[in-house]
Amino acid sequence: MDRRLLILAVGMFAMGTDNFVVAGILPGVAASLHTSVSLAGLMVTFYALTYAVAAYQELKPAYPALKKAYAPPWGVSNVLILQLEKRLMRPGIVNNILAASLYTRSGKWKHVIVVDEDINLEDPNEVLWALTTRFQPATDMYIIPRGITSSLEPSATVDGLTSKAMLDLTIKENFRGEVAEPTDAMRQMVLQRWKEYGFK
């Protein structure tokens, strides 16, 4: 056997499994380092970011509307969030990018999410806000049953099969406007009366 092939195989195995291994032992790692689990989890962040950079580099030449790509640490390298630039968007581009994303990372993404450029894709609250206000499950979600992932992914079968969800969280043609936000005066009044409401 060619030694170079063996080195490549071992390297690919390590790349595909170390995130899951770290996720499972993170509390123990944090305890041994005398730090918080969240701080110890930063090492997973750097690893996940390399996957996002690779996905961006693969998709950007074919899809100039792609502005940013992000693999959040809470997604354990299974979640990819793509941000599109509004002025370069055209009908059908979101579906094409969702489909093309499956060619990145050997198709092992479990969830791929597309958002508009006004959403901070590094802020889970903003992504969830887009999910709540710009997403219709019947028309904006595509499920791929029995796709390949790592066999170490907790919800996968022992053969490494999982369903994949592709989510379009962009503004659609029938979007009715912005969600009403409380004014600064309203926020101040609530904060001043916080204890009256029974909160500490």
Task: Report if pTM > 0.75.
Answer: no
Provide the phi-psi class of 160: left if phi over 0, else alpha when psi is between -120 and 50, else beta: left
Domain 49-197 superfamily per CATH: UbiD C-terminal domain-like (3.40.1670.10)
pLDDT in tens, 88-110: 988 899 999 999 998 887 778 88
Regions in the chain scoring below 50 on pLDDT: 15, 18
Cα–Cα distance between 147 and 24 in angstroms, integer? Answer: 23
